[in-house]
A = this chain, B = another copy of it.
Amino acid sequence: MEGIPLPPKHTGELLKDVVAQARALPNEGAVADYIPALAKVDPNYLGLAVVELDGQVHTAGDAHVPFSIQSISKVFGLTLAMERMGDSLWERVRMEPSGQAFNSIMQLEWEHGIPRNPFINAGAIVVADTLVCRYSASRTAFTQFVQSLAQNESIQVNEQVWDSEREHGARNAALAYLMKSFGNIKASVEHVLDHYFYQCSLDMSCVDLARALGFLANRGVQPGTDEVVCDPRSTHRINAMMSTSGMYDQSGEFAFSVGLPAKGGVGGGLVAVVPDYGVICAWSPRLNPYGNSHRGMFMVRTLAEELGLSVYS
């Protein structure tokens, strides 16, 4: 970067332009259909938001419509767990890219039940286990944490999605039981999965998400409230893991073509952290074969290029 990025006054114009370009793209990919509740979402939603550290909010398209955050919830869960567990967390989950599809069970067997990182499902389930063990009411604690970060008390779980997740959660149950067999799940698998599916089923808008993750761009201090969410070392570590592992088995390509810490979810959301500047959140439900939002990738890449945001220079 040529020093701190100074986005042009017309950032809002740029967002509208990027959304229009995305809308004109051919319809590639399909809405996640592994659970019926997600498959019903209108594939044409398109939202984009940028929340800067100084509080400026830029939006375009459906940036205020809540959607299922799915795997983006892993960032919130990890933040909570890092604060509660300290470095002992890293005995139970590593920080290496997986080089595998996001829900691969093979690697977990090779590596004796220790997941590669907190952003693959197995890793997030271990993180959920630590929350279940540390909080008497982990779901409530999780929701309050996210509401507080997003400064929006109306954020809540989508019960229909939550039910659907539980009903179609066999593969995640397989991952959890495999880790249990290696001693790396402490609470009951049912309880842990209940929490995990719950946190995936929160509904949030692009603006909610971009605002909620501001602390990652601001060395742990939440912009707006000045609350200390975590120490700077933790935001560094979370950003680093998002950079190497946040986009499933497309993380390398995302670094190569965009160059920002990011996390995608199968609900079509995609958040990207720009250190010392702010947070971007894009949303479009159609997914590419890696499980990332097809148009979300396009929007974040275009924005990053236009504004010169990559961390890799």
Interface residues of A, Cβ cutoff 8 Å to B = 1-4, 94-100, 104-107, 109-110, 116-117, 170-171, 173-178, 180-181, 189, 216-217, 219, 232, 235-237, 239-241, 243-245, 249-253, 255-257, 259, 261, 275-276, 310-313
Contact = CB atoms under 8 A, between A and B. Distances in A.
Contact of A311 (B110, B180, B237, B311): B311
Contacts of A175: 174
B312 A253 contact: no
A96 B249 contact: yes
A176 B3 CA distance: 43
Contacts of A109: 104-106
Given A96-B253, A97-B251, A171-B181, 7 more contacts: A1-B276, A96-B251, A170-B180, A171-B178, A244-B251, A244-B252, A245-B252
A244 B236 contact: no
B255 A240 contact: yes
Nearest to A104: B109
A74 to B, nearest CB: 15
21 contacts: A1-B275, A3-B3, A96-B252, A117-B252, A170-B178, A173-B173, A173-B180, A173-B189, A174-B176, A174-B180, A177-B177, A216-B313, A235-B313, A236-B259, A236-B310, A239-B313, A240-B256, A243-B243, A243-B244, A244-B244, A275-B311
Given A1-B276, A251-B244, A252-B94, A312 B173 contact: no
Contact of A255 (B178, B232, B243, B313): B243
A313 B109 CA distance: 34
Task: Indicate the member of A3, A117, A313 with the most B CB atoms within 10 Å.
Answer: A313
B252 A95 contact: yes
A240 to B, nearest CB: 4
Contact of A241 (B107, B116, B255): B255
A276 B94 CA distance: 31
B275 A312 contact: yes
Contacts of A259: 236, 240
Task: Indicate the member of A106, A170, A310 with the most B CB atoms within 10 Å.
Answer: A170
A232 B276 CA distance: 22
B181 A170 contact: yes
A50 B226 CA distance: 37
Contact of A312 (B4, B178, B189, B243): B243
A177 B180 CA distance: 13
Given A3-B4, A99-B107, A237 B256 contact: yes
Contacts of A239: 312-313
B313 A256 contact: no
A191 B39 CA distance: 29
A212 to B, nearest CB: 17
Nearest to A249: B96
Contacts of A176: 174
A176 B170 CA distance: 9
B232 A313 contact: yes
